[in-house]
Amino acid sequence: MISQNRRVVVTGIGAVTPLGNNAADTWQNMKRGMNGIAPITHFNTDHFKAKLGAEVRGFDPKKYLEVNEILRTDRYARFAVAAAQQAVEESGVKGTVEPERFAVLFGTGIGGIGTFETEHTRLLEKGPRRVSPLFVPMMIGNMAAGLIAIRHDCRGPAMPAVTACASGSNAIGEAMRLVRHGYADAVITGGAEASIVPIAVAGFSNMKALSVSEDPDAASLPFDKRRGGFVIGEGSAALVLEEYEHAKARGAKIYGEVCGYGSTCDAYHITAPHPDGRGGAQAMTEAMKEAGHTDNDTVYINAHGTGTPMNDAVETIAIKRALGEENAGKAFVSSTKSMTGHMLGAAGAVEAIACLFALNEGVIPPTINLQEQDEKCDLNCVPNTAVKAEITLALSNSLGFGGHNACLAFRKV
């Protein structure tokens, strides 16, 4: 092991989201404020309270997997394999590091819940002999990481991060630490989710977490007085993290540096955040300290911003605690979940990519459908239209059930 504090950069990205089937399309549609939310088509919602979702459209898994592989993988894993393939191809890292120094850390909140539901229905209707022998490997939450490792001959650590809605961010943060502290030279990381299935939508609905609006433009409403819950989304995003000197030596394109990471737990409640935002604030403080934040930084925060009544108000408190009232007021804050819905374990990875693009292009993606900003969410939430700003530090917040908090910090190189 190389025991030194190495710089970690992003050299490849990929995405399959409600806004596009690659990272470039996703970003272009995010900048223009495209709403990826529409009526759910994966199943009949006649008897469901929540009828909207942010589904991936036009995705062809045959571009990435053979037909027999598609039959052996859950939808979440197909998304993961596709996003990872895009990121690895763009980075050009494959073959430049030893397989034993090439790792995978890929998050998911729920894993193969679609497979679980399908096979459980088959068990009840047709008996135990009809349950697929591939049920378990298709369903388990580590399989996206395993499939990516097999495909790209990654013989270093290969594992998931499973911290509910913080999974994608925790995966990237822990991947950064693998490279920084010498356990790997490159890591494929990110998150994937495919939970727009009846059992998940029913469960989230019955805990009153989902918006029941039937208007796509009045459903995912971060920071708005009218907000009444999140809209469930699906998809994946992947990043290739690489040791800086190695990336520079081979002339790789560098999107930015992962320069800070904070990971905490509220230790308070299984679903509700602590009312004073202590865990989220601490995660942000740790990430900013590691990133060398100063009062001279121009900061963009891609907020967790789910559009649930409690989350957005508490996250506002957390941002003020971490940055201080004055700096919090100066920061640009937006929730891209207003466009993508809440992609659960994939959210943090998609939002990390948004931060990297925002740094490189000097454009802050908007919070769409923000018409009546809540006084409890009194930050610069970039309503409805992207704005130009030369930011120097981008932060991505993710908060998950179980009290998990993660914050990633990025800078340009």
Q: Domain residues of the chain, as ranges?
A: 8-249, 261-411
Query: What kind of fold does domain 8-249 have according to CATH?
Result: Peroxisomal Thiolase; Chain A, domain 1 (3.40.47)
**Burial class (CB within 10 angstroms; exposed 0-12, middle 13-18, buried 19+) of 284:** buried
Asked, colleague to colleague, whether 8-249 and 261-411 share their fold, the answer is yes
User: Could you tell me the pLDDT band of residue 1, with boundaries at 50, 70 and 90?
Assistant: very low
Cα 290–Cα 272–Cα 221 angle in degrees, nearest 5: 85
| Average pLDDT of the segment spanning 124-149 | 98
Instruction: Please state the pTM of the whole predicted model.
Output: 0.97
Query: Distance between CA 102 and CA 158 in Å, rounded?
Result: 9
Q: For the chain, what is the mean pLDDT?
A: 97
List, for residues 116-125, the tens digit of each pLDDT value: 999 999 999 9
List, for residues 36-75, the tens digit of each pLDDT value: 999 999 999 999 999 999 999 999 999 999 999 999 999 9
For 291-306, letters b (16+ CB in 10 Å) and e give bebeeebebbbbbbbb
What is the radius of gyration, based on Cα positions, of the chain? 20
List, for residues 222-258, the tens digit of each pLDDT value: 999 999 999 999 999 999 999 999 999 999 999 999 9
Counting residues of the chain whose pLDDT is more than 70, the rounded percentage is 99
Catalytic annotation on 152? no
Which listed residue (152, 293, 342, 404) is catalytic? 342
Whether the Cβ atoms of residue 342 and residue 232 lie closer than 8 Å to each other = yes
Mode of pairing for the β-strands spanning 235-243 and 8-16 = antiparallel
Catalytic annotation on 154? no
**pLDDT, position 208:** 96
Q: Which among 194, 182, 102 has a CA at the least distance from the CA of 148?
A: 102
Which listed residue (152, 154, 165, 407) is catalytic? 165
Per the structure block, which two tokens stand in for 343? 């992609």
**Does pLDDT of 3 surpass 60?**
no
Q: Which CATH number fits domain 261-411: 1.10.3720.10, 3.30.70.20, 3.40.47.10, 3.30.1330.120?
A: 3.40.47.10
Which listed residue (304, 355, 404, 407) is catalytic? 304
- Scanning the structure block, which residue is given the tokens 């399989």? 143
Catalytic annotation on 342? yes
Counting residues of the chain whose pLDDT is more than 90, the rounded percentage is 99
* Element at 120 (helix H, strand E): helix 113-126
List, for residues 25-45, the tens digit of each pLDDT value: 999 999 999 999 999 999 999
16: β partners? 236
**Does pLDDT of 365 surpass 50?**
yes
**pLDDT, position 2:** 52
